[in-house]
Structure 1
Amino acid sequence: MSFAAMMLIGLCLDAALGWPAAVYARIGHPVTWLGKLVSSCERRWNHGPRDRRLRMGAVTLSVCVIAVILPARLVQAALPDGAVGLILTGVLAWPLIAVRSMHDHVRHVALPLAAGDLTAARQAVAMIVGRDPGQLDDAGVARAATESLAENTSDGIVAPIFWGCVAGLPGIAAYKAINTLDSMIGHRSDRYEAFGKFAARMDDVVNWAPARLTALLFALTSGRAAGRALRVVLADARHHRSPNAGWPEAAMAGALNVRLSGPRLYGDVIAEEPFVNAAAPDPSPSDVARGLALYRRSMVLLAAGLAVIALA
């Protein structure tokens, strides 16, 4: 079975349909199912001395990954060979790719921001970032939305497709388990620093290659700005707070010729982060729309690459 063809089918289904609200209302979503398992493990095991929290965090990581790999392997082995099996695996991969929802979430920020409705834009950006949107001006909202678009293109689309191509349904399922664990418990806080340490480190490992591939996709689809995008990546990606997120963010910043990252407010705490592409201006509302256009071109290139690999 061609795993690349499987992922191409899943990508196309999600781009066309997203995850329909009627389906979500009836059965939820695989990530929310996994989230319940993570929450249950965290409630049971995230207490006691730091050493115990570290151990039980590693156990939680193992339990959640095994819980998705085993059924994925069984299902993949049980499906028939040929076109029918290929289509069915593509359908099963579909909900684990976030092409449509990523675009729609950022578009819901871009539209009111362009119309001058800062309140609605802040409400929309609060759905995709962790910082306090009430303190953001137009440029801050535009920067937050553009950063989220860049980073989540890697985490939510390129990485699951990459691991699906490597290992089929077990690969994409294991990746989503690790990424969900990181988003829920991989925080540097008193509650999660020890318990989520292994999940956060594993998330860094599995996103290493996809983050750099995403940066390359953005550069290749940025037209005459490709050289600048690559220069910003080489100059600034390694200075980012994340070992991976800086790559797609730097490529996006260079492609649009805006500055991203920089200081941000989480609750009452200001995180003093360096800017990416610091000499460029802050993004404007129109730059968010330009970022979405770059995202769409990158997804077309990604689909074309999957098609070439599948045919080969």
Structure 2
Amino acid sequence: MTLISLILALALEQLRPLGNRNRVWLLFTRYANQLERNLNAGAERHGVLAWFAAIAPVLLLSLLLFYSLKAASPVLALALNVLVLYLTMGFRHFSSAYSEISQALAEGRDLDARIALANWTGQPTAELSVGEISRLAIEQGILDSYRHVFGTMFWFAVLPGPSGALLYRLGSMLNQKWGNRSGEEDPFGLFASRMAAWLDWIPVRLTAAAFAVMGDFEDAIYCWRSQARAWGNYANGILLASAAGALGVKLGDPLRQDYSLKYRPELGLGDDADSSHLKSAVGLVWRSALLWLAVTLLISLASRMG
């Protein structure tokens, strides 16, 4: 059921993409905002309580519904899995912006590419060169592919029913709201940040390994081991360094933003990034996703034979 659910959800998402700002996630965002207003009294334990209050009811309800439907008909349980995966994962959450930037660069419309990249990443892009646009787009695409595809796939496969996909997606959303507050010392978001790091620990490394297998293996492993820790966020560094090595392209490096030079360590080996590498990055992500599906199939067959 796991493999079929993943394939059907990915196919449905390609046919009818669902944006990030759909009503389901807007409803959960309002609920999280309400919890923060009512529970944030400046202590870490309040953040722990709010995190469980936000996620536990959803997980319990999903498990209750899953097992109830499974008892009635496995097809209904499969439909629930597909629906939850459709809401929580998918390439089209980010690929439209990525495709828009790639096409604009290929047609020489640098200004349009800068505007699309700024809308996607929320970063200033007016001073970026074509190479810098390409680098930043590849980096954002790799990170978004992990958040919206690989992380969700892993936890869906590990936990029963749709609970794993919900746990990962909701945990990521709470970390973005409460844990990633740049420049703020707010104990309320510490637990959300720790839980997100814990949920990412295994799938980040498996995703990086998939990039290595489906690209230049030796360079990917070398960049992972030697360059990832220099990145500010180690988990992101693992993903970006391994992807850069697998693609044979240089990522990271300083960017010209806000009339200053923003320092970033170098990641990867080989050529400087340009618009041609954008398609290579998409190919790497798709091959890695297919590898994960193949491994899921083998595990399912082995468990059935056992």
Runs of 4+ in structure 1 deviating by more than 6 angstroms, as ranges, are 265-270
Greater RCO structure (CA 8 Å; 6+ sep):
1
SS class of match (1:136): coil
Unaligned runs of 5+ in 1: none
- Cα displacement (A) at 1:251: 1.7
Deviation readout 1:272-301 (Å, 9 max, x if unpaired): 332212x54431011112111222222222
Show the counterpart of 1:272. Answer: 263
Look up the match of 2:27. 33
Which one of 210, 215, 223 corresponds to residue 232 of structure 1? 223
Alpha carbons 2:66, 2:80 under 8 Å: kept: no
- CA-to-partner distance for each residue in 1:86-143, whole Å, 9 max, x for gaps? 2332233221112223322211111112212122112211233242222322122111
Cα displacement (A) at 1:305: 2.6
> Structure 1's 189 and 231: CA in aligned 2 closer, same or farther, altered over 3 A?
closer
Q: Which amino acid aligns with 1:10?
A: A
Q: Do 1:237 and 1:250's aligned partners in 2 also have CA atoms closer than 8 Å?
A: yes
The answer to whether 1:206 aligns with 2:217 is no
Residues 91-110 of structure 1 aligned to structure 2 (within 5 Å):
91-110=83-102
Tell me how many residue pairs correspond in the alignment: 299
State yes or no: 1:10 paired with 2:9.
yes
Q: Secondary structure at the match of 2:234?
A: coil
What SS does the corresponding residue of 1:284 show, helix, strand or coil? coil
1:159-198 to structure 2, matched below 5 A, reads: 159-167=151-159, 168-191=161-184, 193-198=186-191
* Residues in 1 aligned to 2:130 and 2:223: alpha-carbon distance in whole angstroms: 24
Asked whether the 8 Å contact 1:155–1:207 carries over to 2, the reply is no
The verdict on how the C-alpha distance between 1:34 and 1:214 changes in structure 2, with shifts beyond 3 A counting, is same
| Paired position in structure 1 for 2:46 | 56
Letter in 1 for 2:13: D
Q: Distance in 2 between matches of 1:196 and 1:270?
A: 30
Deviation digits for residues 146-198 of structure 1 (CA, Å, limit 9, x no counterpart): 01111122221111111111113111111111101112222243446433222
Aligned residue in 1 for 2:239: 248
SS in 2 for 1:260: strand
Contact 1:233 1:251 in 2 (8 A): yes
Q: Percent identity?
A: 24
1:74 corresponds to which of 39, 60, 64 = 64
- Quickly say closer, same or farther: Cα 1:172–1:137, change in 2 above 3 A: same
- The alpha carbon displacement at 1:85 in A equals 2.4
CA contact (8 A) 1:219 1:230 kept: yes
- 298, 306, 310: which one pairs with 2:288? 298
For the aligned residue pairs, the C-alpha RMSD in angstroms reads 2.6
Which amino acid in 1 is paired with 2:7? L
Task: Report the Cα distance in structure 2 between the residues aligned to 1:211 and 1:138, rounded to whole angstroms.
Answer: 29
Does residue 155 of structure 1 match 2:147?
yes
After TM superposition, the score normalised by the length of structure 1 is: 0.85
Q: For 1:273, what is the secondary structure of its paired residue?
A: coil
Unaligned regions of 5+ residues in structure 2, if any?
Answer: none
Give the distance between the partners of 1:33 and 1:308, measured in 2 at CA: 38
Letter in 2 for 1:169: P
Q: Residue 92 and residue 269 in structure 1: after superposition, are their counterparts in 2 closer, same or farther (change >3 A)?
A: same
